[in-house]
Chains A and B, each alone.
Chain A
Amino acid sequence: MSVISVEKNPESLSLTMVAEFQASVGSVWRMWDDPRLLERWWGPPTYPATFVDHELAPDGRMTYYMTSPEGEKYHGWWRIVSVDEPREIEFADGFSDDSGVPDESMPTTSTRVSMDEVSPGLIRMTLISVFPSLEAMEQLEAMGMVEGYTEAISQIDALLEEVSSANS
């Protein structure tokens, strides 16, 4: 198993996943840097991903689509926040409409992935993903929504608690 730990934080809506691979730093980096390798794991086999633009550089844009078994295309995008080759990538990703234009009404995810060589030939990849985060959209309105999401989750907790204690 590649995944060695998973931590979910409902308060901050974040997911931390740690995986280890027997490989060199360079080959792990290529999994992100080479669009032909990236598209082999980003989408599920039945919804293969095709990366159209792939610019792994600060402020770089990636666009891709996933093709359904019926031939329907689902478009998505990445925006690269920062790159520290071959150790770290930070990016935001989200969905686009049918013509490939980012759909701002859909949740945006922010992900930071870091690669460390813990021992010769053993790479630890740590992924921290915040979902859904609209931080990258740089709009106050969007920023307010992030708080809305977190608040909503704690409100759901409170609602469920209230009702289950009323029933007991």
Chain B
Amino acid sequence: MLTYNKMVVQMSESEQTDLVFRALADSTRRDIVARALKAEHSVSALASSYAMSFAAVQRHVAVLERAGLVTKHRSGREQLVSSSIESVRGAKELLDRYEEMWRDRIDRFGEVLAETTRGEQA
């Protein structure tokens, strides 16, 4: 059951990881995350910091939101963008999950191998 759950997590998280990496491949988006980690910013305040249109900044925020790196909520007429360390740290867990998957495989590898070896000796 545990393995089953892990497998489901593995599948969905590898897609999530892909989204995270794609989102962070852009310097403006990395800057938005860095700002949002420190404090809440409205989309319009962010837009005034970059030499690009409000719509372009909004699109960057949407990419980050899909990757789970920032969250957006409405406050009056403003859209506020924030981010948490936890969401960013998630991306770093990639190798840990991968290690776990291979450990499980190697354990099974050893079990099946021991079985076939016993078969040979018998």
Contacts and interface: CB of A to CB of B under 8 A. Distances in A.
Interface of A: 2-3, 6, 8, 10, 13, 15, 17, 19, 21-24, 27-28, 30-31, 37, 40-47, 66, 68-69, 74, 95, 105-107, 125, 127, 129, 131-132, 145, 148-149, 151-153, 155-157, 159-160, 162-164, 166
Contacts of A164: 85
B25 A152 contact: yes
A23 B113 CA distance: 8
A84 B70 CA distance: 47
Interface string B69-113: 000000000000000010011011011101100111111111111
Interface in B2-16: 3-4, 6-7, 11, 14-15
A163 B34 contact: yes
Contacts of B4: 44, 46-47, 69
A37 B7 contact: no
Contact of A41 (B3, B37, B109, B120): B109
B7 to A, nearest CB: 5
Contacts of A24: 117
B116 A27 contact: yes
B33 A159 contact: yes
Nearest to B3: A44
A27 B91 contact: no
A17 B106 contact: yes
Given A8-B95, A106-B18, A129-B98, A155 B30 contact: yes
B50 interface: no
Given A30-B116, A47-B7, A21 B18 contact: no
| Dominant secondary structure of chain A at its interface with chain B | mixed
Contacts, number: 134
Contacts of A166: 38
A74 B120 CA distance: 34
B85 A163 contact: yes
A30 B94 CA distance: 30
- Interface hub of B4, B6, B96 (most chain A Cβ within 10 A): B4
A28 B20 CA distance: 37
A32 to B, nearest CB: 9
Given A148-B25, A156-B24, A163-B37, A106 B95 contact: no
B51 interface: no
B85 to A, nearest CB: 6
Contacts of B111: 41
